[in-house]
Amino acid sequence: MPADIDSLAAWADAQLEAHWQTILTEYRAKLDTAYARAGDMAYGTYQQLLFRPIKRALREAGLGTQPPLPGDFSQSREWGNADETHQERWMWSVVRGPDGTPLGTLVHIVPHDHSQFRIPQRPSIFGLTQTDLPDIEAALSELSAHFAAAQPFHEWYGGYLVGQKKS
């Protein structure tokens, strides 16, 4: 198991590349049913299936993640096209070594569709050396103007609820 965050991210990204379509094919009926019943929560089911072997390998190597992979939905940010058929959500987890020392952050990019259960392109992972939330958000904002313009989910949703009460 690679010890530096860039090598670890490359390894994890290769795992996603190798398995993302297999998971979609193997669990298609389950994911479609989950989407019909719970909407976008089906993407959480997909991510849990996709990340299961990565999480197991990290655990076996004595590495931990906080929050657990794929990341904290409430801190994540999302953006996409006007008809919401190609959205992108960025989530992240800080990786810690066996002694608890932070090694860096794994950032997970989740492409998805709000009109049906569909992954429009392969999910991916990259690494950051930053490990504190303000530094992670600043680094991601430098990498992506879309990220910088998007609100963390918990802020967006709070604003959405306030708007619903006014209607």
pLDDT at 38 over 70: yes
If you write DSSP's letter for every residue of 10-79 in order, what string do you get? HHHHHHHHHHHHHHHHHTHHHHHHHHHHHTTHHHHHHHHHHHHHHHHHHHHTT-EEESPTT--GGG-EEE
Domain housing 136: 5-166
pLDDT in the model for residue 152:
86
The percentage of the chain sitting over the pLDDT mark of 90, rounded to a whole number, equals: 86
pTM of this prediction exceeds 0.85: yes
Under 8 Å between Cβ of 11 and 4: no
Picking from 159, 157, 105, 109, the residue whose alpha carbon sits closest to that of residue 134 is 105
How many domains in the chain? 1
Could you read off the pLDDT of 123-163 as tens digits, one per residue? 999 999 999 999 999 999 999 999 999 988 877 655 545 55
Could you read off the pLDDT of 88-113 as tens digits, one per residue? 999 999 999 999 999 999 999 999 99
Mean pLDDT of the chain: 92
pLDDT in the model for residue 74:
87
Residue 125 has phi, psi (to 5 degrees) of: -135, 140
